[in-house]
Structure 1
Amino acid sequence: MKRADIAPFFATLQAANPHPTSELEYTSVFELLAAVLLSAQATDRSVNKVTRDLFPIAPTPARMLAVGLDRVMDHIKTIGLFRTKAKNLLETCRLLVEQHGGKVPRSREALEALPGVGRKTANVVLNVAFGEPTIAVDTHIFRVSNRTGLAPGATPLDVEMGLLARVPIEYRLHAHHWLILHGRYVCQARRPLCEQCAVARFCDSAPRELRGTRRRPVEVPAG
């Protein structure tokens, strides 16, 4: 993607969805952290389904610890890797209580020291909860960044660094939400909806006849 096309690319996504938000359901920073931890290799929809019952009885790290490992596993058993995720979640809660006064830290180093919390999860929390212009690269963003030519890279970290270098600062805060939603609903893995894509004219992989033309955008959920 030409550098001159990057700002119009994001301006188009912004016009269609001015205030994007995570599709994970949460009411606190802790619930956001827990939901993102649970969402690895699982859909947001499947995570929301289990947290709707789990979060009301365990809305804080201390309450989650009181619920205990067996009950947490029982609540989340319908999502992938639930045993490992439950153990990581409980250990994270223990560290939050013992080392952070039950609060979610806002430094990358402290977040990534928590079990089950990698760079992607830390980026989501820093961005969504604390308003930092980080970009969490999931499978959707990795695909969209490579397919469009926005920020090609062989690894998620390569793509993240490319995006941070190329995305204009005025779009960086919401960039990962726009890209996730675009990948989830338009630039899909098996068959991208190029004929309905509002940003096809900027995309390196779009059919030649769509480049440089304006398309009626496919409707993307606002959040």
Structure 2
Amino acid sequence: MARPTGRAYKIRLMKKAEIEEFFTRLEARDPSPKGELNYTNPFTLLVAVVLSAQATDIGVNKATGALFREVSTPAEMLALGEAGLKQHIRTIGLFNSKAKNVIALSELLIAEHGGEVPTDRDALVKLPGVGRKTANVVMNIAFGAPTIAVDTHLFRVSNRTGMAPGKTPIEVERKLEKRIPKKFLLHAHHWLILHGRYVCKARKPDCPACVVSDLCRYKAKTTV
């Protein structure tokens, strides 16, 4: 999962009615959006998200395919060991530090949470390698919490469109939580990340194919 750049766009704020229409259209196009990381349970989801930092979902899925057939619990991860884990994830960037974090968080899950992934953010962010963004992803996907995890795609879309402009991920997150209608909050994270990944791309947004282009405040829209 890519890291936000910290760049904010000076742009006019979207109106409440426009945000409602924005998500109405995204919902019509994709009523049940899903994350693109493969997992089998909350623990493997947590591991996948930790591994996805500064890496692509495709790359993580390639590395975890065999891993998650062998490991599905913190105890099994500890039995595999750090060296064994590294053999599975060596194609992922920063795999050495990520392996240490996954082993350490597995130990902590067993010691303090009975081997289960906690459902609240405060407990999640205390796990090694888990920050607010990772915690929000796990809470949303595994436990159905209406959280917003601001990665580089959400940061870009929120600023470009004028939906929730901000200079930091936490600023954008809090604005999105306030501005997005509650009925859309559960899936908002997925809609925005997929929109940023495949349509509102960093180098050249595909504005002609965008279903919300007329609502967007971005001045440098593409025409072809």
TM-score > 0.5 by shorter chain: yes
- Partners in 2 of 1:13 and 1:206 — Cα distance? 21
**Aligned twin of 1:220:** none
**Aligned twin of 1:11:** 24
Matched, 1:193 2:206: yes
**Aligned twin of 1:77:** 90
- Partners in 2 of 1:119 and 1:41 — Cα distance? 15
Deviation at 1:191, TM superposition (A): 0.2
Q: Which runs of 4+ in 1 moved over 4 A?
A: 206-210
- Partners in 1 of 2:86 and 2:145 — Cα distance? 32
Deviation at 1:153, TM superposition (A): 0.5
For structure 1, which runs of at least 5 residues remain unmatched after alignment? 211-223
* SS of the residue 1:129 aligns to: helix
**What TM-score results when the alignment is normalised by the length of structure 1?**
0.92
What residue identity is the alignment partner of 2:216? Answer: C
| More off after superposition, 25-34 vs 200-209 | 200-209
How many residue pairs get aligned? The number is: 210
- Partners in 2 of 1:64 and 1:124 — Cα distance? 21
Q: In percent, how many aligned pairs have the same letter?
A: 59
> What is the CA deviation profile of residues 8-36 of structure 1, one whole-angstrom value per residue up to 9, with x for unaligned ones?
00000000000001100011010111100
Deviation at 1:2, TM superposition (A): 1.8
Provide the aligned C-alpha RMSD in A. Answer: 1.3
Matched, 1:165 2:183: no
* SS of the residue 2:143 aligns to: coil
Deviation at 1:207, TM superposition (A): 5.6
Deviation at 1:208, TM superposition (A): 7.5
> What is the CA deviation profile of residues 14-72 of structure 1, one whole-angstrom value per residue up to 9, with x for unaligned ones?
00000001100011010111100100000100000011011111111000001011111
**What TM-score results when the alignment is normalised by the length of structure 2?**
0.91
Q: How does 1:5-154 map to 2 (within 5 A)?
A: 5-154=18-167
Change (3 A) 1:196 1:64: same
